[in-house]
Structure 1
Amino acid sequence: MDIRRFRNKRPYKILNSRGDVIFSPLYFADSFSSRFMGLMFVPLPNLPWGIILKPCNAIHTIGMRFNLDVFFLDDNNQVLEIRRDVTPWSLCRNKKARSVLECPAGNIPLNEINIGSQIFFEDSF
């Protein structure tokens, strides 16, 4: 399985507060099954692309084949917590989060998103 599981989804890009694109493409996982599957079983060569799990405040990396960078966001897409380089077979949770951004580790530069940063999503079309 790969990006085809999001074939009916629109791609988005992540923007910082200055309007600079910091990551693309990104797909919304907003159904139970798409949130549950997330990036499971996706082979690394088919990346980089990421997902936003909404609503969500906890993730697992069971069945993952690569490490993730995980960003927990509030209702206003402000970063509450960052977990870099999360390994397969891990669990992460932030009780205050309303959504979670996942992408392959190292694809978003360290200085682009920090705790307290607000990020924006823009349609890639």
Structure 2
Amino acid sequence: MGKIINMRTNEIILDDLQTADTFLTRFRGLMGVKAIAKNMGLRIAPCNSVHCFFMRFPIDVIFLDKQNQVIHIQKNMKPGSISPIIKKAKSVIEANADTLSTVLDLGDKLAFYD
């Protein structure tokens, strides 16, 4: 479990961040999960595109470059949808819809803590 802090505002964005960094955990993602807590998210690395097949709730997806800078925000992805491929993205963060998109802007740099 980790935390994400927006370095521009020094705010904690999520305080329960899980990581998916193996083939199996990246493949599974949030598929089949009924719901997640408001303060929870999933970081998927490496990743430059996501799908919401077999999802049960809408999510915000933040795409990060290798410096953990926000380079694309995909707001309110509905179950069954597919994001664009963001070529410079190295990882993504998924959380409940309107959780990330309302507090992050393009160019924000994020810090991760355990």
The two structures have a TM-score, normalised by structure 2, of 0.91
Give % identity.
39
Q: Distance in 2 between matches of 1:28 and 1:56?
A: 12
Match of 2:104?
Answer: 113
**Counterpart amino acid of 2:48?**
N
Q: Distance in 2 between matches of 1:55 and 1:95?
A: 12
Q: 72, 93, 96: which one pairs with 2:88?
A: 96
Looking at secondary structure, tell me which structure has more helix per residue: 1
Q: Distance in 2 between matches of 1:72 and 1:108?
A: 11
Q: Distance in 2 between matches of 1:72 and 1:63?
A: 21
- Give the paired residue count: 111
For structure 2, list consecutive stretches of 5 or more residues without a partner in the other structure.
none
Q: Distance in 1 between matches of 2:87 and 2:77?
A: 18
Q: 39, 54, 76: which one pairs with 2:67?
A: 76
Runs of 4 or more above 4 Å deviation: none
The two structures have a TM-score, normalised by structure 1, of 0.83
Alpha carbons 2:4, 2:13 under 8 Å: kept: yes
Q: Is 2:11 the partner of 1:20? A: yes
Match of 2:48?
Answer: 57
Alpha carbons 2:73, 2:101 under 8 Å: kept: no
1:90 Cα deviation after fit: 0.9
Name the Cα RMSD after superposition.
Answer: 1.3
Q: Distance in 1 between matches of 2:17 and 2:93?
A: 9
1:89-118 Cα deviation digits (max 9, x unpaired)? 1111211100011001122361x2110100
For structure 1, list consecutive stretches of 5 or more residues without a partner in the other structure.
1-10
Q: Distance in 1 between matches of 2:2 and 2:45?
A: 14
